Amino acid sequence: MADSTTTQAQSPKPRRVAQIVYLRPECIDEYRKCHAAVWPAVLEQIRDSNIVDYSINLITKPRLTLYATFKYVGSDWDADMARMAANETVQEWWRMTDKMQESPNEGAKGSLAGNTGDGAGWWAGGEEVFYFEG
């Protein structure tokens, strides 16, 4: 039995990610419908890729914008994102939802081409300029 002074391995500090992508006006209802019933295999892959506390919000003005936030709690971002991108069900989900979106990143080809969370992919990443944990 370990005593109370035994040092446990510390979890890495969560990486907080914020992203945006534009929503096509004709796709609002369809986007809401598919996200009201996200495929279980997609949710499982998100969890297995060490993503928690994930939400997507719709901002309606001045332009329909999807604002997503999540925390990455793993220790190997590149490997976890590669595993997600390799998942065939996730690829099918991205193909479906990408058709409803427009990337703010010039030249972006879709989620399958890169969803890095740093502004280089389909969704545009943002810089955290303020955080208060309370």
pLDDT at 52: 98
Per-residue pLDDT of the chain (134 residues; tens, 9 = 90+): 444 444 445 667 899 999 999 999 999 999 999 999 999 999 999 999 999 999 999 999 999 999 999 999 999 999 999 999 999 999 999 999 999 999 999 888 888 876 544 446 899 998 999 989 88
pLDDT at 114: 67
Residue ranges covered by each domain of the chain: 15-125
Neighbour count for residue 115 (Cβ, 10 Å): 20
Closest by alpha carbon to 54, among 75, 65, 38?
38
Closest by alpha carbon to 116, among 65, 72, 53?
72
Class of domain 15-125: alpha beta
Residue of 35, 47, 63, 109 with catalytic role = 35
pTM, entire model: 0.84
Residue 22 among the catalytic residues: no
